[in-house]
Amino acid sequence: MRILVVGSTGGTGPHILRDAVARGHEVTALDRRPEALDGIKGMVRVASADARDVEAMAEAIAGQDAVIVSVSGGDDKRHQVVATRVVEAMHLAGVRRLVFTSAYGIVATRPLLTAGLTRRRNRDLFADQLAADEVVAASDLDWTIARATRLTEDDSSKPARVETELLARGPWSLGRTAWATALVDFVEQGSHIRETVNVTGG
């Protein structure tokens, strides 16, 4: 498959690139800082563009089978803007399959104390992320919104656990490698189309 990864230099992006390449997919990394991909350039095609530039993104998306968006926090309303631009660009390019990453913290109810504190501490970020999710869900694309628990660099965890309901039990963290594998699985298997899923460690 031909897969475009938006946000390829963030904490999770390189893991997604490596996982998809290891499976034999033709991978394109879209990032406004292509120099940050020096260690991966030999494995993937690199497209230099800002994720908020619709025309540049549409050009990179054209001919792809799927798009994975993994954008970390940053500017105010960054996630919402990126979601809006990606949806527009995918329509222009005629590509339908989108896997969009999000944060489980925006809907978490357990563990009770931690969930409440996390929402208060990240009020603005979570509001932006929720707005982005709503943009994606309102589109007519073949989307999957994947919400991760706290991401870690622990690669020793079991495969990710994916649920369509709120998580009733922990663990409440997820290794980035397992997270990336789950995201590529959604694309490869064509699973959870037009569904929001919650993902944590196995």
Model pLDDT for residues 36-81, shown as the tens digit of each residue: 777 676 678 888 888 778 999 999 999 999 999 998 766 667 899 9
Query: Which residues make Cβ contacts (< 8 Å) with residue 171, sequence separation at least 6?
Result: 149, 157, 200, 201
Strand 150-152 to 2-6 pairing: unpaired
Model pLDDT for residues 109-118, shown as the tens digit of each residue: 887 778 778 8
Cα-only R_g, the chain: 16
Number of folded domains that form the chain: 1
The CATH number of whichever domain residue 106 belongs to comes to 3.40.50.720
The span from the CA of 132 to the CA of 44, in Å, is: 27
The span from the CA of 172 to the CA of 156, in Å, is: 15
Residue range(s) defining the domain that contains residue 27 = 2-200
The pTM score is 0.93
Binning the chain into helix, strand and coil, the percentages to the nearest 5 are 40, 25, 35
